[in-house]
Chain A
Amino acid sequence: MHNLAFDIAHLLAGGLVLISFMMLYQDRLYALLNIFALHAVVLAASVAWQAFIQNAPHLYVTAAIALVFKAIVIPVALHRIIKQLGIHRDIETAVSIGPTMLAGMGLVALSMVLMLRVTGAADPLAREDLAFALSVVLLGLLVMVTRRNAVSQVVGFMSLENGLVLAATGAKGMPLVVEISVAFSILIAFIVIGVFLFRIRERFDTVDVGALDEFRGERR
């Protein structure tokens, strides 16, 4: 049983990293959002599995939050925003795909080396989980850095947060309150960023953050 539990947890966490890579690869906004929804679904599954093997019913709540908000509400809302803004055809990577993927692989290798070495004394399940979680966080940051569009930066930020939730649930004994507050803070951040997006759009007729720089009189 234990081996199976470990293998499934490993599979789900590894799947999360893989989906992060898929996110890196997408250069269309709709596709990016769909992948992000998939990311959240896998996260919810992973958290639910952790709830099952740790016998921690409150984690089911976390999984449900992840599923409802991140896999459904936020992607749908972002879809609508994109449609309203009319930017669904934009191709908007600042760095080309190849180097980004290579950098992503380097980051995953780095987090594996680091986490497996630092957490030598911990439970093997938690170790693997933490290593994957750090990879997801770093890949989320990479998405934010390599995109030019504010919407995709929001998506990068959300996937970064997914990594945090993965780390939090992998480690036993994290209180539900913390998870809920993290989830809600993300939601609020999403709302703020959404409002902000519309403001940028009203003002500059685009959500390319480069417009802000041009407005300040800076070259890119």
Chain B
Amino acid sequence: MIPAVAQQIWCVAALLGTTALAIASSRSRRSTALVYGATFAISLVALAGALFSLIARTGATELTLPIGLPWLGSHFRLDALAAFFLVVVNLGAAAASLYGLGYGSHESMPQRILPFFPAFLAGMNLVVLADDAFTYLLCWEFMSLASWALVMAHHREPDNARAGYVYLVMASFGTLALLLAFGLLSGAGGGYGFAAIRSAQHTPSEAALVLALMLLGAGSKAGLVPLHVWLPLAHPAAPSHVSALMSGVMTKVAIYGFIRVVFDLLGPPSWSAGVVVLILGGATAVIGILYALMENDLKRLLAYSTIENIGVIFTSLGLALAFQANGFGLAAALAFTASLFHVLNHSFFKSLLFFGAGAVLTSTGERDMEKLGGLIHRMPLTSFVFLVGCVAISALPPFNGFVSEWLIFQAVLQSPDLPQWVLKIMVPAVGALLALAAALAAACFVKAFGITFLGRARSPAAEAAGEVDRYSLAAMFSLAALCFLAGILPGLVIDALSPVAQAVIGHRMPVQANDAWLSIVPIEESRSSYNGLLVFAFITAAASLAVYFIHRFASRAIRRGPAWGCGFADPTPAAQYSGASFVQPIRRVFGTLVFQAREHVDMPAPGDLRPARFKVDMHDLVWERLYTPLTEAVWFLADRLNQLQFLTIRRYLSLVFATLVTLLLVLAIWS
């Protein structure tokens, strides 16, 4: 029996082999099926291995390979936390491979995608498995570059080159922050192994600095506001199954990095760390979903919604930090389990929604929702699973999104016990932000589903759409089934997550398997409990009864009345309710502040025959206030420094001389 970690490493090796296979067979027509088939099989094996070591609680296994730095080697370790994230990674990978079997056949240039897809999967697996700082950073960068290559797959499309550039800059910046964080963690002694870092003592100022650097490094990859700018550009630019992986899985790998360092390696947290993470998480959730609401591009909307969910997860992690700093083990375990649960859920429904968006894209060629509509008639199966994804991400029972957000709110309700006044006041405030974000998310997905799938087709392309292939449908249906199962059987998931909480927090949530009727009880029966199965049964029964009564007693009766055109008197589809009109109330409430939105009505003078125009000005304040000044400063400096290229020989010599003398002076003064 080979140890679990070695098994995972073999899977990674197989994925890298698939990359070689993809390069070798790039001219063959069968290569698409070959590569996605191989990654599907390998991901399933890796998933089974990770799931087994998570549920069977086999304990941590380690492996050292003699590659990498000569005196260090490459350390890999599979513990409960890594096993959970491997489950997330490989489940997403398996679904994306299955989807790719169908979606990939529409690809015009498969050789630009096929070699990088398995490499990307291998990179994500390796990041989770790494057990020393060097291997971690190397694999992190490998993952970033592989995903960058996938973003640039369609590099001739107008915005993709810019998306790739912004992504590359932000990814390098994030890796730089991580590099500094690990440098601080390993200290002057240079103990790069995670075991050495874990056992070392870290001063409070050091810990605060590492937290800030991790928020920059992992936060830029995960999409924390204001480091999120690359995400809505890069995620939609990639092919849809890769978008699903980047949004549903790669952001989770970043969260894994944050948890690994801040919860595991850094030692006991301080409560102020919790405050910072809470504020960032709450702000990210609300701002992310507001951006998503304003968006009319389906894939960009989904990418912005990812930012919201990352905010929710970070809020929950902040709660866990705050509780743990005060020694409330149970509450910390609750918040931590809730965040992991949401990680899992988000990987399910975000992948599902991106697959749905990809299906719409293949069958209509459109991402702009204002040119879609009425797809429920042309693509009934896709619209059903997309609806499931929308309901799940809107946190409506009985699906999985509700359970994790409910658990997070249960953790928020524990906050009055906290001793610090700052936390006592702030946690409910952040809870209110989360509630706002959840409500806005529901509105956002009503818009996404309603405008795309309901009504009448707004373009000939949408009119001519057809259902997608069986592989894509299989991938979407399996994810929808997982959303449903995790929603009605949350106790199983919580129990499966308990070894992770036990290992990281030191406490676990109460065992849920013993509760009657598959209820979940986060703290104790008298405070709160939830039963997904019961809610599902109730919703089904109530809905069936309502349908029955309406059809039995109302519809049959003949009534006479004036004809009402449903407010849809004009027969052109353009006169339908549009995405922009749907969000107008929300834009007026929040957009005036957050986006500086201003509405102008251009009314022609009396007698003038041209039509009146309605215009909305919106500003992306993060770009305008933060990134534009930054890029301008860099340009300015670069412009100034450019003159260094045209100095005289004597000036160059003087520069060398001045540098030497300055360094000697520094040495003379400080030594």
Bound: A129/B545 CA distance, A: 102
Residue interface mask B636-668, A partner, CB < 8 A = 1: 000000000010111001101100110011011
Cβ 8 A contact of B657, one of A145, A148, A216: A145
Bound: A76/B667 CA distance, A: 40
Cβ A141 vs Cβ B667 within 8 A: no
Within 8 Å of chain B (Cβ to Cβ): is A90?
Answer: no
Q: Which residues of B contact A213 (CB under 8 A)?
A: 648-649
Bound: A141/B648 CA distance, A: 16
Cβ B648 vs Cβ A110 within 8 A: no
Cβ B650 vs Cβ A209 within 8 A: yes
Cβ A209 vs Cβ B649 within 8 A: yes
Bound: A69/B653 CA distance, A: 26
Within 8 Å of chain B (Cβ to Cβ): is A195?
Answer: no
Interface residues of A in 108-128 (CB under 8 A from B): 110-111, 113-114, 117-118
Interface residues of A in 199-217 (CB under 8 A from B): 209-210, 212-213, 216
Cβ A114 vs Cβ B664 within 8 A: yes
Within 8 Å of chain B (Cβ to Cβ): is A189?
Answer: no
Q: How many residues of A contact B (CB 8 A)?
A: 23
Q: How many residues of B contact A (CB 8 A)?
A: 15
Q: How many cross-chain pairs have Cβ atoms below 8 Å apart between A and B?
A: 44
Interface residues of B in 185-209 (CB under 8 A from A): none
Residue interface mask A88-118, B partner, CB < 8 A = 1: 0000001000000000000100110110011
Name the residue of chain A whose CB is nearest to the CB of B658: A145
Cβ A117 vs Cβ B671 within 8 A: yes
Chain B contact surface mostly: helix
A33 → B minimal CB distance (Å): 20
Cβ 8 A contact of A145, one of B646, B653, B665: B653
A180 → B minimal CB distance (Å): 27
Within 8 Å of chain B (Cβ to Cβ): is A142?
Answer: yes
A116 → B minimal CB distance (Å): 10
Cβ 8 A contact of B668, one of A110, A153, A209, A220: A110
A200 → B minimal CB distance (Å): 11
Within 8 Å of chain B (Cβ to Cβ): is A144?
Answer: yes
B227 → A minimal CB distance (Å): 42
Name the residue of chain A whose CB is nearest to the CB of B649: A209
Bound: A196/B34 CA distance, A: 62
Within 8 Å of chain B (Cβ to Cβ): is A45?
Answer: no
- Given A113-B668, A118-B671, answer yes or no on A141-B649 (Cβ-Cβ < 8 Å): no
Q: Which residues of A contact B665 (CB under 8 A)?
A: 110
Cβ B649 vs Cβ A212 within 8 A: yes
Cβ A216 vs Cβ B646 within 8 A: yes
Cβ B650 vs Cβ A141 within 8 A: no
B321 → A minimal CB distance (Å): 46
Residues of A within 8 A of B (CB): 94, 107, 110-111, 113-114, 117-118, 138, 141-142, 144-145, 147-148, 153, 209-210, 212-213, 216, 218, 220
A-B contacts, 25 of them at CB < 8 A, read: A94-B650, A110-B664, A110-B668, A113-B668, A114-B664, A114-B668, A117-B668, A118-B671, A138-B660, A138-B661, A141-B653, A141-B656, A141-B657, A144-B653, A144-B657, A145-B650, A145-B654, A145-B657, A148-B650, A209-B648, A209-B650, A213-B649, A216-B646, A218-B648, A220-B648
Given contacts A141-B660, A147-B650, 4 further A-B pairs with CB under 8 A are A110-B664, A114-B664, A118-B671, A145-B653
Nearest first, the 3 closest Cβ-Cβ pairs linking A and B are: A114-B668, A213-B648, A145-B654
